[in-house]
Structure 1
Amino acid sequence: MLTRRDLIVAAVTLSLAVTAIAVAQTTTRPLMQSRVFNWSGMKVSPTPTGERRQLFDTPTANLARFECHITTLNPGEAPHAGHKHPEEEMMIVKEGLVEAIQNGQTNLVEVGGIIFCASNEMHGLRNAGTNRATYFVFKWFPHDLGKEKP
């Protein structure tokens, strides 16, 4: 049989656990400040399909998260299968020829071309050229992402 003491201990324990979880979830990372990212200073990580340079993935004054990386693909390679996600995404082609597939439609994107992927729309990329292709990826996550659906 549960005693009054058992109920009080259980209530206090539950209260402390909920408080600890709330504190852990509200711990914020510092906001990104103005800065410069020089190509020569970027760390290059090899991938099975080419290489990747991770620049940042952090909150800003206006966004819950702002992420940027640079992908380099070997000829004929794709970084991953087509997919969709709630955040919007933009890619800018630095070198090579990229095939962009968006909602079943395929376009070739040349150097300087921009690819915008809207929220929750299928998309995928592939190096369509005979040389390496490199593109910048920008993804932004508003504070209310997931609370409203477009």
Structure 2
Amino acid sequence: MGAKRQFCDSPTETLQNLEIHATTLRPSEFAHPAHQHPEEELMIVREGTVIALVNGELKRVGPGSAIFQAPNRLHSIQNVGQTPVVYHVIKWRSTATGPAAVANP
């Protein structure tokens, strides 16, 4: 992976966990293989063009796009452009989420 910058990954007053990070992907690079987890996740594309697996469909999106990943659904993201991609991830776990995933890429 190009780079990952972690901003926070800890409990808050109302959430069991809040994770916020920014990822940079090189051209053609995947962030990780398709996976799923019990937490909901929001990705915001800042730079570049990606193809994201969302709810069983591939979506091509660019800067300013928001991608919502529902819990327990396979998802992935790939840089499909010629320049680096930068996107931000916000993922949260609450009492309604259930237990944390054992392995979380």
Structure 1-normalised TM-score? 0.63
Q: Work out which of the residue numbers 71, 86, 97 in structure 2 matches 1:145.
A: 97
Task: Kindly indicate whether residue 18 of structure 2 is the aligned counterpart of residue 66 of structure 1.
Answer: yes
Task: Kindly indicate whether residue 53 of structure 2 is the aligned counterpart of residue 104 of structure 1.
Answer: no
1:144 deviates by 3.7
1:132 deviates by 0.2
| Residues 125-144 of structure 1: pairs in structure 2 closer than 5 A | 125-144=77-96
1:120 deviates by 0.4
SS in 2 for 1:121: coil
- Higher relative CO (Cα under 8 Å, sequence separation at least 6) belongs to 2
Runs of 4+ with >3 A deviation? none
| Residues 1-150 of structure 1: pairs in structure 2 closer than 5 A | 49-146=1-98
Q: Which amino acid aligns with 1:50?
A: G
Q: 1: distance between equivalents of 2:34 and 2:80?
A: 15
Q: Which amino acid aligns with 1:110?
A: G
SS in 1 for 2:36: coil
1:145 deviates by 2.2
SS in 2 for 1:68: strand
Show CA shifts across 1:80-103 (max 9, x none). Answer: 100111000000001000111123
Aligned alpha-carbon RMSD (Å): 1.1
Answer 1 or 2: which has greater strand percent. Answer: 2
SS in 1 for 2:64: coil
Instruction: Please tell me whether the aligned partners of residues 50 and 85 of structure 2 are also in contact (alpha carbons under 8 angstroms).
Output: yes
Alignment-derived partner of residue 23 in structure 1: none
Structure 1, unmatched stretches of 5+, are 1-48
